[in-house]
Structure 1
Amino acid sequence: MESTPANELLHEFSEEMRELLNANAVEDAKLVQKGLMLYRQGMVQHVTIGDKTVTAVVQDVTPVKVELDLDFMALSECSCPTEGLCRHQLAVFFSAYSKVGSVSDWVTSFREPIREQKAVAGWGMQTAKDLIKANGVLKPDYSRWVHSFEVSFDTLLASKKYTSPYVVPELFGIYERRIHASAPVEQEWRLLYELVGIVVSFRKLAALSERLGHDEDTVKRAYLHLFHNLMDDAEDLAVKIGVQSLPFAFDEFIEKLKTDALELLTCASGLEYERIYLYRLLWVHFFKKKPWREDELLKIQAGLKGLQDWENPLPLMVAGVHVNLLVADDEKALKLIGQFGAAEIAPYMVYWIDYLSGLKAWRRVGPVIELFLQKVKAYLEVLGGYHSCAAFARNALRAVAPYCAEDDRLDLYERALLSMLPYSFGEYEYLLFERGQYDRWGELQAFVGLDFYDLPKDRLKIIEKERPEVLLAMLHQTAQREIDHKNRASYRLAVRHLKKLRTLYKKLKRVDDWQYFLDTLMERTKRLRAFHEECRRSKLIDI
């Protein structure tokens, strides 16, 4: 048959389809069978093969429209409600493939791994699909687990020609389903298998991200959620396993998992926070024995000595702080924290404040908070983006609050609020108002530049009743800001504020002060005719 670009793409597409589907997985086998049935029953109609797409209509229970993207399989679509690959897409694939090859041969080739499985003796010769399937029946073996994860990952994600980051989540989802489906049957081994799988998958995905040249913004938009999901799952698994009495058979696995966990710190240059976070939670919830942690400190020191000049030492240094805190060597941990730049270490300190507070180690957490407050302002300055800064400030205040409440250190909490302004404005405003510190409340409003009429009306009523003088400066500031805009609408707003100001001065029995201010203002703005007209129209001044 004549070779055309579309024919070549169809052949490549068929190979991708064969790699994507696992003949040993019941769901995949059923999917192929259903698609084959629709194709053989003649349900695929109006097939159009373009340069890079195949479109068709499949007459199922209800007709559906299918478009196969021959360049990027993950971008293929079907109008049915099924997410991802569906039987209709398989049916259209078989219909299109029948024009360039034998569908029967493709199906036979797809089913071949089931027969091959019994014949292949060496693990090194087996495919990723066979490797993972065998995990459920053979004796647990750490090296085989890791090898199967790596081969499966490389087959599905690392051997593709694509560079689009938006294809990664779907391919990674297929990879995850494959390894979950092949986990050991025994519950205790299954949990450990899945935890090992998360560490290996995280490391492989981080390295792939770097190899593909995806920058931080690209990862954040396309698949940062994959790393966060892995971290959440790892924490759940580590807690579940960590509360059990670990069998002796786990010892060899744990030793190797500790090595793989340490590699998280050096496996890539990006995703620094996420890599460190996963490492830390493993050592908090899973690697709990003191000898393990003391041995880990030696490995961290050796790792730092072995770094090349161009390699970033921060992840290993943060790990050193973390493990020193776990072995309760706070003096050394605090000394190490002091070696960091403020902006480098501050984001990692919130975790330790939370950790020590969770232990109710109040004597230990105080110095960490003190050191954090010295560094947080510099971090917020480089973090950038109001929403990011506000979210960080909220988390930090939530972490600091238990210690301040336990030790009755309201002064320390207020220092925290001050150091994180303006991002802590909401919490600080609430604190001052509840404590009846209306003078300082007013100063805070002036500091952040809020207009008088932007303030909550219920609070204004209380302050106007209790301490009306607090509102004077705010009204002066708001009125002047409107006058400075120098347009008719702003002048009207300024007059509105000035009339409220006059009411307050009268209430405070300071009419002379009001008159002096008004005379001075009129003299200073005598060239602003429109403003004076608005003042006369509202009877703020005599006509």
Structure 2
Amino acid sequence: MFTEDAPPENDPRWEDLLRRAAEAFDDLTLKRGYQYYKQGRAALDDPEATRQLHATVAGTESYRTRIDLGDLKGSECTCPVGRPCKHMAAALMEWAGYHGYPVPALANATTLASRPRPASGAGKQNAAIERLARDAARIPEMSVPEWLDLFDRCLAPIAHQVRNTQYVKQALGLFYKIKPELAPGAERMFELNALLFLMRHAAETQSNPALGSNTYLGYFTHLAVTDLHEAAMGCLARPLPDVGEPLLESRLRETADGLRAAMLTPGPTQDYDLKHYCALWDTWLAARPGSEALYAEELRALEAAEPGLPAQSRGAWNTAALRMRFGLSDDEGALALLGGEGGRQGAASAGGLMELLGELARTEQWERLLRWLTALAPWMAGRRLRELEAYAGLWDAAVAKLPEAEPGMWEALESLLPASQSIYEDRLLAAGRYEEWIDIQLSFGREPLDYRATELAPLEKHAPHALLPFYHQAVERYVGMKNRASYKSAVKLLKRLAKLYKKLKREERWIEFYELFELRHSRLRALQEELRKGKLS
């Protein structure tokens, strides 16, 4: 996300573009172009272009512009001006805005160019950048902690700025400005660690302990931190290139060490760091050769870190230790970590746990999956519907391969009622267990008219007798309400009942019931009117 954005404002390329814009355009043209830009009149053919831009700009009519970023004076527009015009300026600003550059600076390029520049501050900054560039020549051989130290030094020129999205773009621009070409795996590791470092840096410097919490972030900082988190998760979602790079394994372990420390430390990014930690193990580390040894090593590191952990970190520790034991096929030890308050705090990992179990389904470890699903039933109580649906979906997969496990599925879903009610009911219908479905409707006081006729059609076709008590009970309830609307609802159901009795070839029973029904309610004139309208009397 961020690594594809433009470098910061002090990037020499941006400074050079401002200078050339001041030379090619007069101030009035830039201001008019800025108005066109704000009105959204410029549409770039390819906003990712880096040399020549082609755009359509809506003016008096639609004009086509071609802008040479290396020679603005040599650019062209189909408008009658015949020189750098407001349409070109608008297209140039559209490109700058797309890449994250400050467009107002471009609109004021001629004014900025006429101001004297303080040489001393700029000179010091450039000297610092040059020193960083010399040190950065060692980036291909550096460890991850050395990268983090370099990132910290890179931020000195912008340390005074508010930690918002623009700051993040500038910071990443500084990181990438000094980065030499790297091997594919190192490139990905550099990207991930740059995003993680900057996320923690932005959050730590903007948290507000004065509010009695170390997790408060300002609104714009929160947006920047969230964007960095999403970018890091996107980075981890892509396969890690591996072409036999000698430092890749050590950098992976160093990254895991850093994430372990971060997710066990209470702070504004702790939850994000836990997600990154889990994603690192689930995607990159689990796929490494000898992953079992990696799991065992990480479990030892977690156990060494456990003594003295603050209460806020117990859930994260449980989640991490469970993952390691799961990777080692130590299911008994993993399940033990789900008990107690720590396990409940790790319930944010309920979705993650379903993903782990999904791996068992993908690798067709059906017996192991079945043991997990059976053991998890009490732990799933009170979970959100989305998590219960994932759990039930895994049961479906297991039962499809192990039909003898079906009674266990019904028992597990029943134990989770009423939270699992919609899931349980759907499976009852799919399995043709219509009488049990009706029992649930009756026990929960459901109304037949809550369902569309098409939803009840399978029952009318395959188990019409099961619907009789459902309809009869609802009819009496509607009549007891004693209002015109409820009488109309009763008549609708009576007409359905008539069809059901006919389908069951029990017309005499229907006639007997209806005559008695009409007699019992003969004094309810409004009901009698509705019965006549429904042609039931």
TM-score with structure 1 setting the length = 0.69
Q: Find the counterpart in structure 1 of residue 147 from structure 2.
A: 145
Which secondary structure state, in structure 2, belongs to the residue aligned with residue 298 of structure 1?
helix
Q: Tell me if structure 2 keeps the 8 A contact 1:464–1:471.
A: yes
Q: Tell me if structure 1 keeps the 8 A contact 2:236–2:283.
A: no
CA offset at residue 305 of structure 1?
Answer: 0.9
Q: Find the counterpart in structure 2 of residue 185 from structure 1.
A: 182
Deviates more, 1:266-275 or 1:206-215: 206-215
1:361 is the counterpart of 2:372: no
Which secondary structure state, in structure 1, belongs to the residue aligned with residue 182 of structure 2?
coil
Counterparts of 1:110 and 1:370 in 2: how far apart (Å)? 66
Q: Tell me if structure 1 keeps the 8 A contact 2:29–2:86.
A: yes
1:90 is the counterpart of 2:105: yes
Of the three residues 255, 268, 272, the one matched with 1:257 is: 255
Q: Find the counterpart in structure 2 of residue 276 from structure 1.
A: 274
* 2:326 partner letter: L
* 1:21 partner letter: E
CA offset at residue 32 of structure 1?
Answer: 3.3
- Measured against aligned partners, the alpha-carbon deviations of 1:285-309 in whole angstroms (never above 9, x if no partner) come to 444544443332233223221224x
Which secondary structure state, in structure 1, belongs to the residue aligned with residue 185 of structure 2?
helix
Of the three residues 88, 101, 105, the one matched with 2:117 is: 105
* 1:322 partner letter: R
1:128-277 → structure 2 map (5 Å cutoff): 134=136, 139-151=141-153, 159-161=160-162, 168-169=164-165, 171-173=167-169, 175-176=171-172, 179=175, 182=179, 184-204=181-201, 207=204, 210-211=207-208, 214=216, 224=226, 226-237=228-239, 239-241=240-242, 245=244, 247=246, 249-250=247-248, 252-269=250-267, 274-277=272-275
1:285-364 → structure 2 map (5 Å cutoff): 285-287=283-285, 288=288, 289-308=291-310, 311-340=312-341, 343-346=344-347, 347=350, 348-364=352-368
* 1:260 partner letter: G
- Measured against aligned partners, the alpha-carbon deviations of 1:326-359 in whole angstroms (never above 9, x if no partner) come to 2233222222222347743451431331233344
Of the three residues 383, 391, 395, the one matched with 2:390 is: 395
Q: Find the counterpart in structure 2 of residue 43 from structure 1.
A: 29
Counterparts of 2:194 and 2:17 in 1: how far apart (Å)? 26
CA spacing shift, 1:206–1:396, aligned 2, 3 Å: farther
Counterparts of 1:481 and 1:215 in 2: how far apart (Å)? 55
CA spacing shift, 1:46–1:503, aligned 2, 3 Å: closer
- Measured against aligned partners, the alpha-carbon deviations of 1:134-190 in whole angstroms (never above 9, x if no partner) come to 35876434333112334556876x74447xxxxx44544554465456363322321
Counterparts of 1:418 and 1:215 in 2: how far apart (Å)? 43
Counterparts of 2:466 and 2:166 in 1: how far apart (Å)? 58
Q: Find the counterpart in structure 1 of residue 379 from structure 2.
A: 375
Deviates more, 1:339-348 or 1:399-408: 339-348
Amino-acid identity (%):
18
CA spacing shift, 1:161–1:353, aligned 2, 3 Å: same
* 2:264 partner letter: T
1:55-74 → structure 2 map (5 Å cutoff): 60-61=86-87
CA offset at residue 462 of structure 1?
Answer: 3.9
Counterparts of 1:172 and 1:449 in 2: how far apart (Å)? 56
Counterparts of 1:169 and 1:400 in 2: how far apart (Å)? 43
CA offset at residue 42 of structure 1?
Answer: 4.3
Deviates more, 1:326-335 or 1:454-463: 454-463
* 1:262 partner letter: R
Q: Find the counterpart in structure 1 of residue 63 from structure 2.
A: none
Counterparts of 2:17 and 2:258 in 1: how far apart (Å)? 36
* 2:433 partner letter: Q
Counterparts of 1:215 and 1:520 in 2: how far apart (Å)? 67
Q: Tell me if structure 2 keeps the 8 A contact 1:342–1:379.
A: no
- Measured against aligned partners, the alpha-carbon deviations of 1:201-227 in whole angstroms (never above 9, x if no partner) come to 454456467548547999998864642
Q: Find the counterpart in structure 1 of residue 491 from structure 2.
A: 495
Which secondary structure state, in structure 2, belongs to the residue aligned with residue 184 of structure 1?
coil
CA offset at residue 262 of structure 1?
Answer: 0.7
Q: Tell me if structure 2 keeps the 8 A contact 1:350–1:396.
A: yes
Q: Find the counterpart in structure 2 of residue 440 from structure 1.
A: 436
Q: Tell me if structure 2 keeps the 8 A contact 1:483–1:490.
A: yes
Counterparts of 1:178 and 1:297 in 2: how far apart (Å)? 36
CA offset at residue 470 of structure 1?
Answer: 2.1
Which secondary structure state, in structure 2, belongs to the residue aligned with residue 375 of structure 1?
coil
Counterparts of 2:313 and 2:101 in 1: how far apart (Å)? 45
Residue ranges of structure 1 left out of the alignment (5+ in a row): 1-17, 49-53, 67-77, 121-125, 163-167, 381-388
CA spacing shift, 1:63–1:321, aligned 2, 3 Å: closer
CA spacing shift, 1:299–1:154, aligned 2, 3 Å: farther
CA spacing shift, 1:30–1:63, aligned 2, 3 Å: closer
Q: Tell me if structure 1 keeps the 8 A contact 2:33–2:86.
A: no
Which secondary structure state, in structure 2, belongs to the residue aligned with residue 306 of structure 1?
coil
Deviates more, 1:80-89 or 1:462-471: 80-89
- Measured against aligned partners, the alpha-carbon deviations of 1:365-397 in whole angstroms (never above 9, x if no partner) come to 3332222211112233xxxxxxxx3x3233333
CA offset at residue 315 of structure 1?
Answer: 0.6
CA spacing shift, 1:524–1:22, aligned 2, 3 Å: farther
